[in-house]
Amino acid sequence: MTDPLLQVEDLSISFPSANGPVRIVDGVSFSVGREVVALVGESGSGKSMTGRAIMGLLPSRAQVAAARLSFDGQDLTAFPEKAWNSLRGSGMGLILQDPKYSLNPAHRIGRQVEEALLLHTKLSAAERRERALDMLDKVGLPDVDRIYSSYPAALSGGMGQRVMIAAMLINRPKLLIADEPTSALDRGLQDQILTLLRSLSGELGMGLLLISHDLQQVSRYADRVMVMRRGKIDEQMVSADLANAKSDYTRALWAARPSAATYGTRLPVYGEQP
């Protein structure tokens, strides 16, 4: 196997506070190739901060240290701001939870989907439009000509998230980081969007880092799963091995999910005596 796309070694992130720096992420190491990897954790586990550090999007007061942070052969630890801009526009993409806040309500969909092409390529307006329509079609949107000239308010949450995915993928990034890409959507739509992300990552040969709080759900779409807790990676494994996880926390997180099989029983709660 060739070098993985993304390599993270001993990444730590601290934020200053009145009582000295607080370590949010504590010595995290992992790599992502052209595959689907899930980074799972509960509120405050540091999963989103890890995703942001990879994209250079942490607030300036965050203190980041890493033995290695490299993407596609480039060292990200010493990256100047300008280089980040071009990397974010073409090498890596980020999808956030709620399309309502990620899309500009005052601009038409077409313009927002094309923006990366406008900034990072020399394509003509007609070529950009063609690529955008093609991409809107690829993410499963109907009637792409109408959507191209609509405003975000005219779209449902699921359609908005598809537009975001189209905008992120139009420049064919090598790595897509999706931070809770479906938490704002209905359950049925969640599965559709995750299926779409997974199939696009295969089709485009793109690495996909899925950040989520829902272990059972993302494990169905990821090749590998990393479970984070209190700033550290608790366990990482191939998704198929999850039911036999070694760490107590991973096992508890796996078993705590309610289902038809748990009807009439008490759900296990981590740290609670059975």
Partner 1 sequence: MSALSVSNLSVTFQGRDKGFTAVRDVSFDVGAGETFGLIGPSGCGKTTVLRAIAGLNTNWQGSIAVSGEPLQPGRKITGALRASIQMVFQDPYSSLHPRHRISRILGEPLSLRGERDVEDQVRTALERVGLPAAVAGRYPHQLSGGQRQRVAIARALLLKPKLLLLDEPTSALDVSVQAGILNLLNDLKSSEGMTFVLVSHDPGVVAHMCDRAVIMDAGRIARAMDRAQIAASWSDAAAVAG
Binding interface with partner 1 (CB under 8 A): 42-43, 157, 186-188, 191, 213-216, 220, 252-253, 256-263, 266-270, 272
Judge contact between 10 and 68, C-beta under 8 A.
Answer: yes
β-strands 63-65, 36-40 pairing: unpaired
The residue among 81 and 272 lying less far from partner 1, judged by its C-beta, is: 272
Q: Toward partner 1, which CB reaches closer, 246 or 257?
A: 257
Task: Identify which of residues 91 and 181 has a Cβ nearer to partner 1 in the complex.
Answer: 181
Q: Minimum distance between the CB of residue 24 and partner 1, rounded to whole angstroms?
A: 17
Question: Residue 65 or residue 267: which is nearer to partner 1 going by CB?
Answer: 267
Q: Would you call 242 helix, strand, or coil by DSSP?
A: helix
CA distance 3 to 153: 43
Number of helices (H), then strands (E), in the chain: 10, 11
Residue 244, SS3 per DSSP: helix
* Alpha-carbon span 76 to 169, nearest angstrom: 21
- Residue type for position 88: R
Smallest distance from partner 1 to CB 230, Å:
13
To the nearest whole angstrom, how small is the minimum distance from the Cβ of residue 18 to partner 1? 16
The CB-of-132 to partner 1 minimum distance in angstroms stands at 27
Q: Encode 184-219: b = buried (16+ Cβ within 10 Å), e = exposed.
A: bbeeebbebbbebbbebbeeeebbbbbbbbbbebbb
25 - beta bridge partners?
13
Least distance CB 6 / partner 1 (angstroms)? 26
Residue 73 burial (10 A CB sphere; 0-12, 13-18, 19+): exposed
Cβ-based nearer residue to partner 1, 7 or 97: 97
Cβ proximity to partner 1: between 72 and 191 the closer is 191
Q: Give the nearest distance from C-beta 81 to partner 1 in angstroms.
A: 35
d(CA 135, CA 113): 9
- Least gap, CB of 219 to partner 1 (angstroms): 9
46 vs 173, beta carbon nearer partner 1 = 46
